[in-house]
Amino acid sequence: MSGRFSYPGVMEAAYGKGGYYLLSLLQFMYPFLAMISYNVVVGDTLSKVLVRFAPSWGSSMGMVRFGVVLVVTIFVIIPLCLYKNVSRLAKASFLSLACVVLILMAVVYRLLSGDYGVVPNTPESWRFAHSDLIPAVGIMAFAFMCHHNTFLVYQSMQNATMERWEKVTHISVGFAWLVAALFGIAGYCTFRALSQGDLLENYCWDDDLMNFARVLFSISILLTFPIECFVSREIVRTQIKRFYSQEVVEYDTDKDPSHVTGEEDDRKSMITTLVIVFTAFIISPYTECLGPVLELNVSIAPPFSMSYPNDHELFSPQGLLAAIPLAYILPGLAYIQLSPHSLFSQEKLPAAGLVLFGTIVTISGAAILMPNLIGDCRTGIIMGYCKDDELALNGTSFIASTVEPNCATDKI
């Protein structure tokens, strides 16, 4: 309908420069904050594995997390992010999916084996839903939001057609839904109201099967990281070109939208990539709580600290205020504006429903989360039901088995 080749371009065709810059801001913010989230996950996950082999490190988990993120950023993330073509990550993407399947098998096995049958029940254990249902939609939108890299992926396909794209989309999203559902069901049935924002945080540190799963999960995350970096880099490069040329600039319309030519362009691309990656790295040590990151914000605390000072936090929107508009509100608004049918026609009703749904979830979710954003949240702790863990003998702190279900109100 628009004849444009990027998500910001579609919004500009529908709503002019205002729509273009709003979409560009959200499209950069979402993958950039996702990169921070990935650093948080990798730091938390691999630090547990390292402490398993070096228990004395358990007393300085903040430093261990920082070291882990620094090492993987230099030796893994940067080399992958310096690729100029997203299609070069096809094999890495397949390996990432294989890791996810193996992790899922480990989670289901731990549920069926009953090894965590000591996890206590609480009055909240089997409650179907409460007020966190609305913010949880923000996390689900974060998990399924792929609109920001759709154009990059489509234009990297061989013999790209709408029919092939529909097939790829339905298979991919269907597989993602199945995996997410199985993880959620198996994880919650194992830990119930004690479930953490990062499921692997629930497993004991001396559980070697889950330590192996933690390594696989970190590999999967690291192989996903470059895709988000590509999107952020393209947004920055496009904005720079547009600023200097004062013309409409979109991704290249050949099969490789990330293709650049010339030594100067290569140097600019490398510098842009390094700035984005290191900025995400610098911010990530300040961020310990994964749940709030995905729901609404990035919580900022002193680096290497084991707990948050309640009066020194900085919040930035992501799940509710970035993913949901990108996934539901803006696509619906663009279709409503560009479609030649009347506003109340049958063709536009689904788009109007998307906009209404996204608006309600964003407003109500933010209203629920805002009063509860400031609170204690810690990682690098041992769950109460892991009291026989060898790390406990070294004085590592425990989390009480009567913990509230919300990460932001965990009691130590």
Q: Answer yes or no: is pLDDT of 139 > 70.
A: yes
Higher pLDDT, 103 or 256: 103
Q: Is 124 within a domain?
A: yes
pLDDT at site 311: 30
Mean pLDDT of 380-387: 76
C-alpha span between 230 and 242 (Å, rounded): 18
Q: Is 270 within a domain?
A: yes
Mean pLDDT of 329-335: 94
Higher pLDDT, 5 or 224: 224
Q: Answer yes or no: is pLDDT of 310 > 70.
A: no
Q: Is 400 within a domain?
A: no
Q: Is 1 within a domain?
A: no
Q: Phi and psi dihedrals of 408, rounded to 5?
A: -70, -10
Q: Is 171 within a domain?
A: yes
- Band (pLDDT 50/70/90 cuts) for residue 318 is low
pLDDT at site 264: 54
- CB contact set of 141 (below 8 Å; sequence gap of 6+): 319, 320, 323, 324, 327, 328
- Among 231, 224, 233, which residue's Cα sits nearest to residue 274? 233
pLDDT at site 287: 64
Strand partners, 403: none
- Band (pLDDT 50/70/90 cuts) for residue 371 is low
C-alpha span between 229 and 73 (Å, rounded): 12
Q: Phi and psi dihedrals of 41, rounded to 5?
A: -65, -45
- Band (pLDDT 50/70/90 cuts) for residue 148 is confident
Averaged confidence pLDDT in the chain: 79
Q: Phi and psi dihedrals of 158, rounded to 5?
A: -80, 135
pLDDT digits (tens, 9 = 90+) for 166-202: 999 999 999 999 999 999 999 999 999 888 877 888 9
- Among 294, 275, 233, which residue's Cα sits nearest to residue 33? 294
CA distances from 131 to 137, 187, 367, 405, 406 (A): 11, 20, 11, 12, 11
Q: Is 227 within a domain?
A: yes
Task: Output the domain CATH number for residue 335.
Answer: 1.20.1740
Number of domain units in the chain: 1
- Among 218, 226, 202, 183, which residue's Cα sits nearest to residue 119? 202
pLDDT digits (tens, 9 = 90+) for 83-122: 877 777 888 888 998 999 999 999 999 999 999 998 988 8
Q: Is 134 within a domain?
A: yes
Q: Answer yes or no: is pLDDT of 410 > 90.
A: no
pLDDT digits (tens, 9 = 90+) for 338-368: 999 988 899 999 999 999 999 988 888 777 7
- CB contact set of 228 (below 8 Å; sequence gap of 6+): 31, 32, 34, 35, 38, 149
C-alpha span between 42 and 285 (Å, rounded): 11
Q: pTM to 2 decimals?
A: 0.75
pLDDT at site 218: 93
pLDDT digits (tens, 9 = 90+) for 35-57: 988 998 898 888 888 888 888 88
Higher pLDDT, 46 or 406: 46
Contact 318, 33 (CB under 8 A): yes
Contact 398, 392 (CB under 8 A): yes
DSSP structure string for 162-230: HHHHHHHHHHHHHHHHHHHHHHHHHHHHHHGGG--SSGGGGS-TT-HHHHHHHHHHHHHHHHHHHHHHH
- Band (pLDDT 50/70/90 cuts) for residue 266 is confident
pLDDT at site 269: 86
Range of the domain at 127: 7-254+262-295+314-392
Which residue type is seen at 22? L
Q: Is 25 within a domain?
A: yes
